[in-house]
Amino acid sequence: MAGMKFGVVVFPGSNCDHDAYHAVKHVLGENVDFLWHKEHDLRGVDVVILPGGFSYGDYLRCGAISQFSAIMKEVIRHAERGGHVIGICNGFQILAETGLLPGALLRNRSLKFVCKSVHLRVENAETAFTRRYTQGDVLHIPVAHGEGNFYTDSETLRELEENGQVVFRYVDADGAVTREANPNGSLNNIAGIINRHGNVLGMMPHPERAVENLLGSADGLGVFASLVETITGSVPVLS
Amino acid sequence: MFKAIITVKLRPSILDPEGKAIEHALQSLDFRQLSGVRVGKEIELTVDTTDRSEAGDMVDAACRKLLANPVMEDYTIELQEL
């Protein structure tokens, strides 16, 4: 069985980096390195995690300045070679700014920072990030953001839907897509998307905050366990 | 030298919830003839060249690369000779 390594990028203002590190290191028992934003080397990691937070103070636009940091050049190169990248919350905003994922994350429709647990439906369980789930699974995972309102032009939206690139959608506890279940006004209740090639995923909810029952939910662990299974070919044993 | 004043706004097709909130406040203050509020931001910077068209091109390139996100924003540039 081949080993693998995760890398968690740390920007000035990242604040979910340690949660992501904890999820893969202590809960899954995998190798993981922090990657400082000024570094020019990904140190051979297989999966890059762009964590949540407020990189560069969210100045200009969320993720706008981070996209040009030294490490992001390497992350983009890694993604273009087919390497796996997951952007969570601020990480999703950064991926949208770089153009690795389509669309943009606008200010929440309510204008409020939303911090609560939501229900997500797995729309595509045939990705490197979701293979441990079953399509239609309803997950209980927290969101915490002020700019998570996914927007794109109608042509791109149609392509995302047709190609199965919408991976997670906000739903109610019964799995129904409703306006009330949408915490931020995202088009089509979109919570997470994947690129056409299937190696770059962005999501606003925080799977790394839902990896142990002690935290209230372990529903997010499947995202990281799916990546381990994808890279190593072996199935991690979850407690 | 030029001073560039760049105005960045959400594209017209995108709902601006902040503009809407301000519009509601204006209505409640009896400014009934004021509507269509859109909120944007203004960025000022200095361009070190004497050539107006070069200055315009440089600022435009900066807008496309960093200062505005074309997915959601439009921008206008005003140049003032210093």
Strands of the sheet containing A5-10, edge to edge, are: A31-36, A5-10, A47-50, A84-88, A200-203, A190-194, A166-171, A114-122, A138-145
- B72: nearest CB among A108, A110, A151: A151
| A43-64 per-position pLDDT tens digit | 999 999 999 999 999 999 999 9
| A100-140 per-position pLDDT tens digit | 999 999 999 999 999 999 999 999 999 999 999 999 999 99
Alpha-carbon distance A184 to A173, whole Å? 17
Task: Establish if A39 belongs to a structural domain.
Answer: yes
Decide: helix, strand or coil at residue A189. helix
Task: Establish if A138 belongs to a structural domain.
Answer: yes
Domain spans of chain B? 2-81
Phi, psi (rounded to 5 degrees) for A46:
-90, -35
Mean pLDDT of A144-172: 97
- A111: nearest CB among B17, B66, B72: B17
Mean pLDDT of A31-40: 97
For B2-81, CATH number? 3.30.1280.10
**Chain B nearest CA to A108, separation (Å):** 8
Task: Establish if A205 belongs to a structural domain.
Answer: yes
Are A211 and A218 in contact, with CB atoms under 8 Å apart? yes
Decide: helix, strand or coil at residue B21. helix
Give the per-residue pLDDT at A236.
74
A70 pLDDT above the threshold of 90: yes
Task: Establish if A238 belongs to a structural domain.
Answer: no
Are B17 and B38 in contact, with CB atoms under 8 Å apart? no
| CA proximity to A17, closest of A7, A28, A26 | A7
Alpha-carbon distance A191 to A204, whole Å? 6
Alpha-carbon distance B69 to B55, whole Å? 20
Looking at residue A169, the DSSP 8-state letter turns out to be E
Alpha-carbon distance A10 to A201, whole Å? 18
* Other CB atoms within 10 Å distance of the CB of residue B52: 12
Q: Which residues of B touch A (CB under 8 A)?
A: 10, 14-15, 17-18, 21, 66-67, 69, 71-72
A66 pLDDT above the threshold of 80: yes
Task: Establish if A239 belongs to a structural domain.
Answer: no
Those residues whose C-beta lies under 8 Å from the C-beta of residue A214, and which sit 6 or more positions away, are none
Q: Which residue has the higher pLDDT, A28 or A3?
A: A28
A238 pLDDT above the threshold of 80: no
A239 pLDDT above the threshold of 70: no
Q: Judge whether A147 counts as a catalytic residue.
A: no
Looking at residue B65, the DSSP 8-state letter turns out to be I
CB within 8 Å of chain B, chain A residues 62-91: 64-65, 68
Task: Establish if A36 belongs to a structural domain.
Answer: yes
ipTM: 0.85
Chain A residues inside the 8 Å CB shell of B15: 109, 185
Beta strands in chain A (DSSP E): 5-10, 31-36, 47-50, 84-88, 104-106, 114-122, 138-145, 149-151, 166-171, 190-194, 200-203
As given in the structure block, the two tokens for residue A21 are 């590190």
| A218-236 per-position pLDDT tens digit | 999 999 999 999 999 887 7
Task: Establish if A23 belongs to a structural domain.
Answer: yes
Give the per-residue pLDDT at A234.
81
Decide: helix, strand or coil at residue B22. helix
CATH of the domain at A87: 3.40.50.880
Alpha-carbon distance A5 to A225, whole Å? 13
Q: Which domain holds residue A83?
A: 5-232
Mean pLDDT of A13-21: 97
Q: Which amino acid is at B44?
A: E
| B40-79 per-position pLDDT tens digit | 999 999 999 999 999 999 999 999 999 999 999 999 999 9
Q: Average pLDDT, whole number, for chain B? A: 96
Domain count, chain A: 1
| A195-204 per-position pLDDT tens digit | 999 999 999 9
Q: Average pLDDT, whole number, for chain A? A: 96
The CA distances from residue A7 to A3, A43, A74, A87, in Å, are 14, 8, 12, 12
Give the per-residue pLDDT at A1.
46
CB contact under 8 A, A152 and B67: no
Rounded to the nearest 10 degrees, the angle between the axes of helix A90-98 and helix A70-80 is: 70
